[in-house]
Amino acid sequence: MAEFTMELSEDQEQVREWVHGFAAGVIRPAAAEWDEREETPWPVIQEAARVGIYSLDFYAQQFFDPTGLGIPMAMEELFWGDAGIALSIVGTGLAAIGVFANGTEEQIGTWLPQMYGDRDDVKLAAFCSSEPDAGSDVGAMRTRAVHDPVRDEWVLSGTKTWVTNGGIANVHIVVAVVDPELGTKGHASFIVPPGTPGLTQGQKFKKHGIRASHTAEVVLQEVRVPGSCLLGGKEKLDERLARARERARGAGGERVRNAAMATFEASRPAVGAMAVGTARAAYEVALDYARTRTQFGRPIIDNQGVAFQLADMRTRIDAARLLVWRASWMAAAGRPFTSAEGSMSKLFASETARQVTAQAVQILGGNGFTREYPVERMHRDSAIYTIFEGTSEIQRLVIARTLSGVPIR
């Protein structure tokens, strides 16, 4: 188990500089254009694939960094470049985590490479969990998966929403209900291979922020997938459902794991790192502006009202990064989140991004309110962090329940 340290190794520093260089030289110059176009930035994704940043190998290397800092370090630098484009580059990762966390060795080996493709044939993947009536309330999920034992196929029907890469992905990972009587314990995840009949893209959303990232509905109309596409396999699912039924009858038993929640638990510190990247970018723009903008004959940073804001911004950013790094290290070390440290990191970093980007707009004044300066876009982008992969309210609920042991509602 790696010791916790705040000092990156030489190899980690080299990776961070490399990713930062890509963010500064490729992502940031393209940010305003793709935000306005509200389209998937394929040229940037293809360039990321060409240099090796959009690849299974790179993602795996950072994921298996024994310190746990590989992923948050990379996420912070990419999202420092631009949140919308960065999400287009890393959006496949959530689906990949879903397969890695819940799949068999054969499924992992078969499907993870197909999610990324290669530098000459780039592919995307999508994780489909939220529904029109089931966002934070995953127990309200209605998408059904029914097993056809004769053909050993699963039949999926329902509508998913807020899906990153939804409809344009090569591989979709779909969370569905297999036993409605068990609530969230009756969910399972399925791989929908490319070109499967019945899966179509529904509405594509026009969003307030992260506009370069494709977000859409995914409609499943009697989508048939082979039994081998059930993540974890039928035997493992049957055992899990049997334990859940036993527990529901009051017979005790171990905690039953929910596939979608396992995916979100693993990704929350990474989302926190994304928020840190956006916050840091806005802070740096505001700091540079405050040093060079003069009013009443002196730089505005000479005014306490501005200087103190910048001090608070930097303090919150550093604190958020430390919470993210702690949670990431704990996850890599196999230490349980006994105080909901993952949710803490996501909550604090998300709220920090909202606050810091708002302060950056204020420091730039009227200029900050225009699209001539990037803080306007950064402020719009920051809104998503307090919403997706568990709202700030849900994170507070998770933390409160974990600390108190009480099923707070």
Q: Angle at the Cα of 218 (from 214 to 222), degrees rounded to 5? A: 160
Long-range contacts of 326-330 (CB under 8 A, 24+ apart): 326/4, 327/268, 327/269, 327/272, 328/68, 328/69, 328/71, 328/72, 328/269, 328/270, 328/273, 329/2, 329/4, 329/67, 329/68, 329/69, 330/68
Cα 142 from Cα 131, distance rounded (Å)? 8
Residues 328 and 68 sit within 8 Å (Cβ to Cβ): yes
Cα 240 from Cα 262, distance rounded (Å)? 14
Would residue 351 show up in a list of annotated catalytic residues for this protein? no
Q: How far is CA 281 from CA 33, 151, 226, 233, 376, in A?
A: 18, 53, 45, 43, 12
| Strand boundaries in 107-240, DSSP class E | 117-118, 121-122, 125-128, 144-148, 153-164, 171-177, 187-192, 199-204, 215-226
Long-range contacts of 383-386 (CB under 8 A, 24+ apart): 383/208, 383/209, 383/354, 384/83, 384/209, 384/210, 385/271, 385/274, 385/275, 385/278, 385/346, 385/349, 385/350, 385/353, 385/354, 386/350, 386/351, 386/354
Radius of gyration from C-alpha coordinates of the chain: 22
The SS3 assignment for 100 reads: helix
Cα 272 from Cα 75, distance rounded (Å)? 9
The CA dihedral of 390, 392, 398, 404, to the nearest 10 degrees, is 180
The SS3 assignment for 201 reads: strand
Pick the catalytic residue: 181, 376, 389, 393? 389
The β-bridge partners of 366 are none
The SS3 assignment for 7 reads: coil
Cα 364 from Cα 190, distance rounded (Å)? 48
Annotated catalytic sites, by residue? 389
